[in-house]
Amino acid sequence: MLARLASLLDRWRDVDFARLNHILIPSKSRDRERFRRGRAGRLAALAFGFYEAFTREGHALIAVSVGAFFAGFDVEHSDALMLWCALAGALTASFVSRRALRFSALRVEVSHAPRVSAAAPLGLVVTLYNDSDRDVFSVRVEGPFLPWDGRYLTQAQTVARVPRNGAVRVFVEATFRALGEHQLDPFRAAALGTFGLTQGPGAYSNVARFVVVPPITPVTLGADALSGRGDEQALRSALRGDASMDLRGLRPYRPGDRVRDLHARSWARTGVAMVREYDEPQTRRALVIVNRQGRGRDRHRFEKCLSLAAGVVAALEQRGLHLVALLLGETLHPFAESASAAPPQHLDEALDLLASLEVHPTFESPRFEASLDRVFDPSLAVHVVTLDGSPALQPLIEALTTRGARPTVHGLP
């Protein structure tokens, strides 16, 4: 009974109420556009168009006028009806005059980074272009309705003046929690009407598309995690003199460097620990495997696992290894080899792949081994990122060790 109660409490904690608040709103921009073109969407557009005609100040004044209307029924003991008449007159005058605020020479464009880490601020640059020979005054810039995981850090802004044949930039920040591709509806720019209560017909921007990727968890890799068995044999052969291993130069010490590579004289002269760096006999390469097996309610821990995988990829590239592929569950994603001596940078591509990964309840060992055989080489430095206690971890490690690999396992604490 207590175990059942604890399980129900865990499920209650995992409920994302922000998602439930948006359960009737399509998450994809194309689905929202399809709804707008439908019969129900066209009817909803009429009510939303009236709502959109007023500014935030106008909405607040409408709420006050409704209260004054109901308070004004007692005309013998209250003058609230006079207040309602004044408020209604101001709202009506502002609403009627908004049609004269249409402008056809104002263009709106939004630019942003192609990807952003989860919960990190995303900067959206909204540029207003005035292609006419007249200045445009008092333009309100408002962002679209965000998906369930989004939150604005800055509110709507008003541009006092957009010069003729000129441009003005407005900076908007927002954060997003859910990983994967995001597509926002257009930003809107409209001129403020009388008393600042309404706004004219708006000009709309392009659609903003970006990817929310897992944040990078810092990972420190030791020397043993930077080479496979084939690399280790070649390195030992070079140290014995069987292969050439030229001294490239000296560099500051990094955690994981071998103690025997320390250069004592440079350390004593500069006061900074320095190590010898060699031209190794062959290019070091790495393979990162992400075990995605788990339960649906493990999503929060799985996102931490993806952040750890991103940290492993970043650490490997920082140490100069060629990342040959990502093996996400049973699906292989190879990376293009570089024609130059410098290792290619695949971190952004890897982050995009990790952002689209979902928890899967099963592990298909035959598919995994078939994908592994396509890229496996004993010289690869193999890194496995997994949720602790996953039933698929043991067969995964066995498949690697039987092929001669020496995997480094990274798990959550």
| Beta pairing partners, 409 | 384
198-207 per-position pLDDT tens digit:
888 888 999 9
pLDDT averaged over every residue in the chain: 81
Q: What is the pLDDT of residue 390?
A: 72
What is the signed CA dihedral for 150, 154, 156, 158, rounded to 10 degrees?
Answer: -150
Burial 221-240 (b: 16+ CB within 10 A, else e): beeebbbbebbbebbeebee
All structural domains of the chain with their residue ranges:
25-99, 101-213, 223-240+283-411, 246-279
222-252 per-position pLDDT tens digit:
877 777 665 554 444 444 444 445 567 788 8
Interatomic CA distance for residues 267 and 252, integer angstroms: 9
124-170 per-position pLDDT tens digit:
999 999 998 888 888 999 998 888 889 999 877 899 999 999 999 99
Of all residues in the chain, what percent carry a pLDDT higher than 90? Answer: 29
CB 69 within 8 A of CB 75: no
DSSP secondary structure letter of residue 271: S
Q: How far is CA 106 from the centre of its chain?
A: 31
388-409 per-position pLDDT tens digit:
767 778 888 888 999 888 899 9
CB 191 within 8 A of CB 138: yes
Q: How does residue 96 score in pLDDT terms, banded at 50, 70 and 90?
A: confident
Q: How does residue 173 score in pLDDT terms, banded at 50, 70 and 90?
A: very high
CA distances from 349 to 159, 328, 346, 381 (A): 38, 13, 5, 19
Q: Which two tokens stand for residue 124?
A: 């959206």
**Which has the minimum average pLDDT: 73-77, 219-223, 368-372, 402-406?**
73-77
**CATH class of this structure's domain 101-213:** mainly beta
